[in-house]
Amino acid sequence: MTQKRRARAKNEGFETDDDANYRHRLRQLQIELVKFQRHLIKFDHKVLVLFEGRDAAGKDGVIKRIVRHLSPRETRVVALGKPSDRDSATWYFQRYVPHLPAAQEMVLMNRSWYNRAGVERVMGFCTEAQYEQFMESVLDFEGLLERSGIQLFKYYLDISKGEQRKRLKDRKTDPLKQWKVSPVDEVALKHWDAYSLARNEMLDRTHTEAVPWYVVRADDKKRARLNVIRHLMARVECPDKDQHQARPDPEIVFPYTRQLVKDGVIAP
């Protein structure tokens, strides 16, 4: 970060280098989330937040900070495992439908139906025909969700190749992160370019004005966590929210455009 950008970030409340400052700002934002949940419950809203990104992009960490002080009765985190034989024999979206939010609920998905456009495609877990069928139907599916009253938010956490290598190595040596290690992790770096191509096509074909993708620069975990919460609070309806808190850093969270890939803003 340049000195000029650091000064601007500090002035606007985005600076997070200091741990105490980070904890203070996180607590302020978590208070805003509690306000939002009260509003959501009072007016029977239904909120669904999708988090996508490469292995070790920080999805777990962001979700953990969002839900930490929310009511567990009205908040659910969904992280589905490998599809069963029955799942594979049903309509692709069927396994996700039971997890959609009811009135007064917020659901956060750590990976979602977009697994088909990322991991499944790159690793050969689906056929090209299945992939195309998904890509041609996903926006219709999301349109149905929106028309049913579900507020849908889509975030893609983007990290550099060097940062992914560092985090995957840390997973292997940290005893508290052993549960995160998977066979897919082992080949994540090997398939870096394939994942980049799959990501670019996914974002390009499924980003719309009605249901946009937002990209999160996530090499700095703390800044990513704070700014995802800020961005979410900026987009949801909550009359009691602190408007100053709901101001994400536009250099950390921003709407997807094809030009971002061409300019190398999104990790190549």
Number of domains in the chain: 1
Are 56 and 108 spatial neighbours (Cβ–Cβ below 8 Å)? Answer: no
pLDDT for res 1: 44
Q: What's the pLDDT score for residue 177?
A: 83
Residue 12 has pLDDT above 70, yes or no: no
Domain-embedded: residue 224? yes
Measured at the alpha carbon of residue 131, what is the angle toward residues 87 and 92, in degrees to the nearest 5?
A: 25
Q: Which of 34, 36, 12, 54 is nearest to 216 (CA)?
A: 54
Indicate the burial class of 59 (C-beta count within 10 angstroms; 0-12, 13-18, 19 or more).
buried
- From the list 66, 170, 164, 160, the residue with the least C-alpha distance to 110 is 66
Domain containing residue 84: 3-262
Q: Match 């004005």 to its residue by tokens.
A: 209
| 77 within a domain of the structure (yes/no) | yes
Q: Domain for residue 58, yes or no?
A: yes
Do residues 47 and 151 make contact, with C-beta atoms less than 8 angstroms apart?
Answer: yes
In 3-state terms, what secondary structure has residue 267? coil
Neighbours of 178 (CB within 10 A): 10
Residue 248 lies in a domain: yes
> Could you count the other beta carbons within 10 Å of the beta carbon of residue 232?
25
Do strands 253-255 and 213-217 pair parallel, antiparallel, or not at all (unpaired)?
Answer: antiparallel
Give the number of other Cβ atoms within 10 Å of residue 46's Cβ.
19
Position 268 in a domain: no
pLDDT tens digits, one per residue of 205-255: 999 999 999 999 999 999 999 999 999 999 999 998 998 899 999 999 999
In-domain check, residue 22: yes
In a domain, 267, yes or no: no
* pLDDT digits 0-9 by tens, 53-73: 999 999 999 999 999 999 999
Nearest to 63 by CA among 20, 106, 31, 14: 106
Q: What is the CATH number of the domain that holds 27?
A: 3.40.50.300
pTM passes above 0.85? yes
* pLDDT at position 97 over 80: yes
**Residue 125 near residue 22, CB atoms below 8 Å:** no
Q: Do the domain assignments include residue 10?
A: yes
